[in-house]
Amino acid sequence: MLYIGAHLSSAGGFAKMGKTALAIGANTFQCFVRNPRGSRAKAMDPVDLERLRVLMAENGFGPIVAHAPYIMNPCSKDDGIRRLAEKMMREDLALMEHLPGNYYNFHPGSHVGQGLETGSRLIADMLNRVITPEQQTVVLLETMAGKGSEIGGRFEELRQIIDQVERSEKVGICMDTCHMSDGGYDILGNLDAVLEAFDRVVGLDRLHAVHINDSMNPPGSRKDRHARIGEGTLGTETILHFLTHPALRHLPFVLETPTDDAGHGEEIALLRQLAEKA
């Protein structure tokens, strides 16, 4: 079973996202669990969450991915920004316990000149404070393009964070095809070699989800601008290699391409059709 979906708007609640996912041929999805720019968590409605759980079970959904707000920077120089990041993650993870067994993905952050050592320690410190032993959500660090002082552009940087996390069994990785190519990993020419490097440095057992995006920029550009599937520098073939790779094909794949639900539905239909033939 191929689990493929898209980033959906959470405006109408959780059950509605489940229905939207079904309508566009998805059997997983990603969403923000709060306003992406705001700091206030949505009022949690247990009935709404229960409806989504039932819908997911009845329709054989794979795990879904909650995405932390982009403004979150756990390795900021500013103590207030770091505390806000911690507060948001703690609240979001509490909400996710109502949807046990899914993922919570975040961008590790930008160290803004403090360096990788300090940055990775601050990120791990936050994780050590928010992750609980009973937690049923695995927190995912996203592979980044490495623009500016962004941490997570190299697999070694992700490893360095994980090494400092006490309950590291609750921490994994979400790959992003656009970020990896922009960050200089040759997924276009040699996906196997990239996955071997990942396995050596981080371990493929830590990989739990993949963002499938084409890229507007050439490999190594460190830019991070997503393109629709087939309309960027990666091409449909590269995305298809991820979907059909024996080490990856069981994972949830999420589109974060610049289009609407209907557009995502077209991409999902195309990718399912191509993956079946591959």
* Binding site residues, Zn ion, CB under 5 A: 176, 211, 256
Tokens of 68: 């932390």
The residues, any chain, with a CB within 8 Å of residue 175's CB and separated by 6 or more, are 142, 143, 198, 207, 209, 210, 211, 242
Least separation in angstroms between CB 256 and Zn ion: 5
Tokens of 60: 């054989």
Q: 15 or 177, CB closer to Zn ion?
A: 177
Tokens of 237: 């073939």
Least separation in angstroms between CB 45 and Zn ion: 27
Least separation in angstroms between CB 142 and Zn ion: 6
Least separation in angstroms between CB 224 and Zn ion: 9
Q: 49 or 141, CB closer to Zn ion?
A: 141
Tokens of 238: 């590269």
Least separation in angstroms between CB 174 and Zn ion: 7
* Rounded distance between C-alpha atoms, residue 253 and residue 250, angstroms: 9
Q: 50 or 256, CB closer to Zn ion?
A: 256
Cβ 108 vs Cβ 151: under 8 Å: yes
Alpha-helical (H) ranges within the chain are 14-23, 46-58, 79-96, 116-130, 155-163, 177-182, 191-201, 235-244, 261-277
Write out the DSSP string of 116-145.
HHHHHHHHHHHHHHH--TT---EEEEEP--
Q: 91 or 176, CB closer to Zn ion?
A: 176
* Rounded distance between C-alpha atoms, residue 241 and residue 249, angstroms: 9
Least separation in angstroms between CB 85 and Zn ion: 18
Q: 120 or 177, CB closer to Zn ion?
A: 177
